[in-house]
Structure 1
Amino acid sequence: MESLHNHKIHIPLFSLLFFLFHFSSLHFLSLAYEQPDKYFVNCGSKADANLNDRVFTADSGFLCSEKGRTIKSTNQSTILYQTARIFYNQSNYEFMIAENGTYVVRLHFLAFSSPSVNLSSALFNVSAFPIVSNSGFKLLNNFTAKDSGNSALIEEFFLAIGPGSLKLYFTPQGSSFAFVNAIEVFRAPLKFSPRNYSSSFPLVLRTTYRVNVGGPKITPDNDTIWRNWEKDDSQPSAENSQPSSQPLNRLSVESDGFVGADNDSIAPDLVYLTAKLMTGGSNGLPNPFNITWSFNVSADARHLVRVHFCDIIGPPANIVFNLYSNGNLITKVGGPNFPFNRLNQPFYYDFVLTSKESEFINISIGPSIDTTTNNAFLNGLEMLEIIEGPALSNPPTSFCNMKGRKKIKVGLVVGSVIGGLSLICIMIVGTLFGLKYRKAKRVETSEWSPMPAIGGGSAHGRLTDGTITGSPMNYLNLGLKISFAELQQATNNFDTKLLIGEGGFGNVYRGTLLNGTNVAVKRGKRDEQGSGQGRPEFQTEIMVLSKIRHRHLVSLIGYCDERSEMILVYEFMEKGSLRDHLYDSNLPRLSWKQRLEICIGAARGLHYLHRGAAGGIIHRDVKSTNILLDENHVAKVADFGLSRSGPLDETHVSTNVKGTFGYLDPEYIMSQQLTEKSDVYSFGVVLLEVLCARRAIDTMLPRDQMNLAEWGMLCKKKGLLEQIVDTSIKNEIDPSSLRKFSETAEKCLQEDANDRPTMGDVLWDLEYAFQLQQTAKHREPHEDSTANASSAFALPNVQHFPSVSSTVNIDDLALPGDDELDTTEVEVFSQLRVGDAR
């Protein structure tokens, strides 16, 4: 049989690759090994999914896109595959990697059909960036999961990754889309990482086959790192051994490329306790004969092959056989001096093959001429394709940047707001500062002027004196300071399992203080702290929230400003943001009554900011993500990092433009003159969002429909507003209530700020709309609500009608100190999503 040997497998190439993938060091640690970086993600869902003792969490904390849609299946029993995230534009997930090493990345695809889309029609690429040497690789090219049927298609990769972040890019091809059901990213046990690998040859492997030779299929729940081992259906004439009843004798031994499988992370016991054997010439087969396995592979690709052996038949010293690939001798196995010649001692051997022009690789075992015992065995086989490029030197172009914020096409979006000459101005301003700060979702033409530092040392080591209006106020002794040590304990040292949001300012963690209070802990980014960016927002948020308290404003529990940390601690809002409930298909739809109550609550909070807070405060970033809901769906306005304070009745405040596209007051953009009416405009956009369940800016829609404020007002003027009302609530809205609500939104969205109402007027109108809706329930079926609307109430009564969301009848314009009576002390904050937190 040795005559089959030839030189098609070149020794220098083999040596280089064997050194590169020195899999004698590739064996895994024991089952007790705990991966320091591990992520299990349930894509398109907010519900946790438990699969094989892994808890897959919602993908919002890792998703770097707002274009992704959630698709739900109606006939899948496995919870992990009941949802999928689809992308119509290139988007990516991001995972923070703390330690250098080799990582397992698994992508789950199940092409189910939903009423809105058939996932089997998806065609897309998947790329990873960065791998070692700051390069990237395309993992899947023109991929489709249409043949997955009722079973999930799982693509598995092994990547060498350095500290930093791993980004997985999903890129639709042509007019198609991309999707994914679940993602796993976890560090392989330490000994998996190849020793002395060259940066010119990054480790990128794709699993193509994993076979339990001679045994049954092994599912992930029977594998320590959750692998699938397929059943061996080849070679029906060769015989399967009877499963061994003796325990394995695992030893850490290495010799001539053979490595002892010293723990069950290399392969489960079930792999080594069964085998495929020669039949010794029975069944009419020649004696001796070879057992061959044939694998369909990519042409002109290199593959790493791992073969698993364990002699469970004996006597070991008498069995010597050869391992072949496509007729070429790879190595000899067994013999008297072989270090693995004991019964039930598992070991493995790795080698690299090139498929050349062929699309098949044959692996064979057969007896050697060095023995009179015509027998051979194989227990398991793994084949991984070596992905060799071309390497990506730069991350793919994406609508997202590093921290999950969406890049907006500035000219297109702003043009939908103001058009004409202002379009050119905003394009220039937005482009310049977008390049400078890489914060495309939030429009900031300049940073807030930082407050002067006091004392010695770093200006960022502790908060400075002053208020947001410039008057002296030392807020170092407000009784709100919380030690860094307590916050470490509250968040289990900022455990990623407690991560509930990520944004421009930093990550948000759920935590529990020493007194049992549940809180949201927003920790500023270290890189922003070093440069001073983010500190003005940090200081402003403390100054605003420390001097106001109101039932409909989120409460600041405390802050930490030590060890160069900038940390804000808030109450935790159990139900998340208004935006979540308008667009997330996994959450129950809000009724019209609930939406009215939420709008009334938010209006009360903003009205208090404008008129009840000392000096008056302009929020400057009113949007649906900054209206948070507690466990009873009571609305609270949040995120005061961009707020400005000053006398609102005297003069306009000249300020650089800040806010969020789609909500920005056009007059404020043009004049840079900030007034409370800018908040009113933004709130008008929110009212349309609530009514239509449509985003403020949706670039997927036609040009004339892209901007919700423009499109909504156009429909209102044409008498077509009812046609764009959220279909889930359309039939429950009383016409009188709808008319009053839409009129209120229209008044808020007037181009001239002088034509807009105050927040007090808006609150009055919303409560009126609520009363009209409530009264409609008591009318007889023959009564026409429109005809009776004007006579249903005398207007003076409406002013004092409390929202159902209110639990106390107290004037919402209470001054600081008194307004604490109107506070519900629920220690909760928002479940912020990627791109929503600061």
Structure 2
Amino acid sequence: MEKRHFREIPYSFSSLLFLLHFLSLQLPSSAYTRPEEYFISCGSDTNISSAGRTFTGDSSSGISLSFTFKGQSSTVKDSNRSTKTPSLYQTARLFRENSFYEFEISTSGTYLLRLHFFAFSSPDNLSAAHFDVSASGFSLLKNFTLQTSSSIPLIEEFFLSISIGKFSLNFMPQGSSSFAFVNALEVFLAPEDFIPNDAPHISRAGRSSNNSYEGIRSEALQTIHRINVGGSNLTPDNDTLWRYWVPDDSYLYNPVTAKNSTFHPDRPNYLEGINEYIAPDLVYQTAKEMNIDGNRTSNTFNVSWSFNVSKNARHFVRVHFCDIISQSLGVLRFNLFIFSNYSILIDPYDKTGQLAAPFYIDFVVDSDDSGLVNFSIGPRADSDEKTAFLNGLEILQIVGESGSVSRKHEPNKTPIFIVVGSVIGGIGLSCILAVVICLCLRCRKPKTVENWEWSPRPVRRGGSSQNRMPEGSVIGSRVPDLNLGLKISFAEIQFATNNFDVKMIVGKGGFGLVFRGTLRNGMKVAVKRSEPGSGQGLSEFQTEIMVLSKIRHRHLVSLIGYCDEMSEMILVYEFMEKGALRDHLYNLALPSLSWTQRLEICIGAAKGLHYLHRGAAGGFIHRDVKSTNILLDEELVAKVADFGLSRLGPPDQTHVSTGVKGTFGYLDPDYFRTQQLTEKSDVYSFGVVLLEVLCARPAINTLLPREQVNLAEWGIICKNKGTLEQIVDPSIKSQINLSSLRKFAEIAEKCLQECSADRPPMGDVQWYLEYALQLQQTGIEREPHEDSATDASAMLALPNIQRFASFSMSAEKDDMPILREDSANIWASEVFSQLRIDDAR
């Protein structure tokens, strides 16, 4: 729903990029008046009034109709005639073959097309209808059917550019026994320039394409979301173009960050001069603004909304603003974020020159394979008022270019000499291109793993929704050939998992199902198989392979191989017999871990993360450290897992610019506020894990009193009050040496510091944990005021570890990074027959 690192477009460039676009903010022609046609009540023999419109019955006798319909059709009426069902939805026209309505268009321009559907009770069972709808060469609805559980009408709304002449709206039943139907139609001219022809283009995940998207009017737009932010439901009775607007509350990412604001009557009359057709005045009279109250220590947070959209599709987005919260002019400036990496300065006074005056901004936004589009607003340091607001939002999917549905046309007669000339020219051009390609291939140098920059491959969409990838398949491999020797055939994985037997399922995560498997040589493995609609996709799949193919450590889960055949995304790991740390903390069916075991597990995980940060090739930041991603083997040795969100972050780099991702309860607040990722973000998440280990409770528990919901906040409060012992897991209370507990709490507190710069590096966390273990094993008791970290005698009792001020690493054999270009290849026939794997355990 993608936030938090943003990149401002330089003023010199943005002034050129948005100048023409903002000129489109001037209001459409005030000469526009609401049209009286075409509004049709399908299957009805009478006219029906609804929200200021008169729907003409298409079965009316004695009335000269300005439209016709062609094809085999019949009328059907609601057999119940319920008084609760509006008259407009008590009749329908039913088509059993390809049929169409034909309208006479007298004015060219952008038109609104609305299709009304309601499956009322009838012998024909309208819920069983299965059909397509097309118009002006656009496929508007594909394989459409109405859900039987729908108790309210469904309205599909489109914007189309229609020229003078005849306009056909086609209904095409799918299957010999199926049919199509429609209850009502609206086809009417929209205000002039209501839809711009170009707008700034934001590509996937919020990366600006640095140019405008042109030709919007030549494409069809389908309304997906129309949101009245901070307000209530608005019906056609409240809207001059008979639109529906819904509240935003269900789309808020974190509802406590925002509050509703309303227009004050004593403000200037901002409605003077506003065009009523862009949005109702009720949209501009309400807003969501940042919820800044006495319980917040700062207002450096964002308010975010997340919307479901089609995957890998293009969308026209209109964002509405009206400053109804400022008390004076020019005091409020804030940022609007789209996805993770794109932001734009919103300066209400700069746009309108007056207080409480509405304006809007248009964009074209590409969605990624997550099926979500996220919008956020946040304060700016250079603003007098540190707040932000939003009034309305519209998201319309761009259906495609005209001609996506074939039209009937006469074949063009082309002179034979043109055909011959084109063929000869084409052959010559092909030869030249072939020579150029060969020269490029001969000159190109092979890339190695270390200097190769990872980027997702484009996915070609299409095909049945029953495929493993619901929107299509990848042409070729999903992962470029890295010469890693890690590819495993799909047949091999089927054998290992007994064809993905449900009895072999051992877990389920954001990526998909996890199966237990056994290779041909008896080696046990864990198999993660993606599934349609999963929270993670191709990018995470590729990242996991990239990270795990470059690292090896005793406390990091090893990648055995992967499979990307037949639209599959499968990862194969070493099998961790004891499962996730979380299970051993909360599952009462499993034996409780002792305090010593918990300390050893934390030390192991810290070693793995420390190696990931500083010892791995290039250095990585995990970005999703939590108790479910710390796995235990048969000997309870901890290993960090799930690297799908990891990012490359060299030790000499202060931060990585990236969208905020992670898990609530574990998410670094400094990362969330600044959108700057560092290894200290992992340190914060690990601090939450430490409290989980100590208290055996989830990071977030909404069933508890408000001050106890967030474990990190509650743990720090208890430590400061000196009541930490009261929230310790009862099963280990009697085991813990008080000095060990104090040191452990001190470590957790250091990890959970608000500012990332105040947190220790993971190497120091590891050292402190080993010291806490030493205190537990030696039984040394210390007074609370003593600084055990500087006690010389205690230092001598620790294992032989070199410790530096900001960097430390245990000298273990498995800590050494793998340099794949120089390392020897190891034949692994005992793992897979005829499969070569480099350095995989």
Taking structure 1 as the reference length, the TM-score comes to 0.43
Taking structure 2 as the reference length, the TM-score comes to 0.43
